[in-house]
Structure 1
Amino acid sequence: MNFYISIGEIQDHIEEYHRVTGEAPDFPFILHQIYTQKHYLKEFPGTIDTSSLIRLEDDDFLKEIRKLYFYFSDKILHIPERFDIVPPNAGLTVVYQFWGCKDFIHLHDCFEIDYVYRGQCELTFLDEQQILTEGDFCILSPFTRHNVTLLNKDSYIFPIYIKESTFSKLFFPLLSSDDILSDFFRKILSSSEEANYLLIKTDASCEIKDLVKKLFLENFRYDNYVERCNIYWINLLFVYVLRSYHIYQQFSYYKSGPDHIPIVRYIQSHYKTVTLPILAERFHYSVPYLSKIIKENTGKNFTQLIKTLKMKEALEYLEKTDLSIEEISEKTGYNSADHFYRVFKEYQGISPQQYRKEFLKKRAENFPW
């Protein structure tokens, strides 16, 4: 069953939760709260007149879109981890990033395109952090751990998600061009050596902002032409970004090599369950040769790499949630809390409980208010 909630209703609930508890809520929790309080619509609210909203100045536009309704499947209330960012029957979607929700490092199987419409946000990408400002245009490749955080209430981005499996079909003309965007996408889609993200600094031009508005509003039309229009707007957006950019940078976390990128990306996405034999079968290498590729290009053997990825996720849970040690051990792919406890203590030098206690103590000392 689908249900419909306005952007303003969601944002108001997030801010109220933060005001009462002093903490940032999980997005699924907020939706569940709104659903329980029956602050939603059961029926489709109808299409909107996008032309009138596009013509608005920024302040009025950002105010009026609070009245727009997103639809959600009730799956997100019961099985949030299986909720699809891009609907199963679509190749792409554009969403609204809410200010004040709980941050967490995550990955997904689609390209993410973030244009900073207003204000600033912080990009955390693997072990790197940097501030993106108005006009920055950042493309994140699939299966890479990242987080994008709005730095204040007056900052806005409208993330665009494009399935990797459908990119070449939807944007084939782009792939035949000779420019930084085409090169970036070709390298990733061909599984050869590639950058993990592409950050382009553009002028905060009216043309780009208008295209982002059109992309965002198109997703509230709910008809058979939405995806075709989105493909058109995104192609235009790419052209205007290329026309107005003045500097760019690419990022590659691992050492270069002809074979390791798709392997490491697969490990990043499946590290809770993947084994060397499974990996060898998938990429058609012997286990010894695959082990050599991983060691040479990451500096770690397979077991060490898996442990590092699991421990990074465990630290996130210990720092940013109140999940029990048993729950964290399950979420990070360990078959028992005892096993998780031993590995964590060996990796960090202290127990999970001690780590959480010391982290909370330091946070309280640094931020006493």
Structure 2
Amino acid sequence: MTRNNNLHRFPRAKLMSGPTPLERLDNLSAEMDIDLWLKRDDLTGLSFGGNKTRQLEFYLGDARQQGADTILITGAVQSNFVRSAAAAAAKLGMQSVLQLEERVPDMGAEYYSSGNVLLAQILGAEHLGYPEGEDEAGADAALHARAVELKAKGHKPYVINLGLGHPPLGALGYVVAGQELYQQMPDFDAVVVPSGSGATHGGLLTGLALEESTASVFGICVRRDRDKQQARMKVVLQKLADLLDIDARLLQDKISVFDEALPPGYGKVNAITSAALEKMARTEGIFLDPVYSAKTFSGLLNLVESGKIKSGEKIVLLHTGGLPALFGYQSELIHNPT
């Protein structure tokens, strides 16, 4: 597979502040006996950064081309995607409608008022609720119903769909990121990424494949178990390959997902996730978020412990940001002083 130039065909809104840093983690490298690097996509520049900025460049580019004035998106209550979408819409002079799904049960009051929820309110976004957390088609349908109402009032709405039935435009942002990473450092053995919607994982895998990189891409499940995520990734990669007019089979053969860090489920903090979050902070002075990046680092620790990542290998860990969510999870993370 050779480098593909079809990306220029897709409209793109400029939201990134530039290529994100690639930083060596010297202390953890010595402790873990690997050559560990952190791709700092927590530093993408827009509204506390995070990986969703890359995806939104393509969604908002398409929205602007269609003359949209309002962006509609759905996600969990502490979703980084919806917060980033509200910020991107504000930057481009648009309104935003954020639908918050009940994906994470039994959370404290701060989960519903702090972190990303607070930031989205400051940004002036309209908020909707959706009672289910595992109904992508229903959540998308509810957004489209709101879009019909807005259209009747003279607005030009644009829906960023969640379900697999739609082209994964956002994944194109991580095709770009894969190529960016390869240009920064072509000689690494593996990159470890969160695997949720599949856009970040699938885009990065595709971008590296287009650069003919031989590095493995290890996806750490943050929402579904290994079998379900494997099936989802096949669909995402097929739809992404269709967008780029390349052979999906060359990508699907590279799928590698692990779910050891997932229990008890999406958005729930377990002991190993909390320990991984604290380890990164106390060893390197870098914060991770409890939903994606801490679970991804926990997955990396397991890959090293199980021997799937070997001594001396050069590994890149993708930091997807999401740090405002830390404040929505304070009751889950804080230790009572003794």
* Length-normalised TM-score, structure 1: 0.23
Where relative contact order (Cα < 8 A, 6+ residues apart) is larger, the structure is 2
Please say which structure displays the higher CA radius of gyration: 1
Structure 1 or 2: more helix by fraction: 1
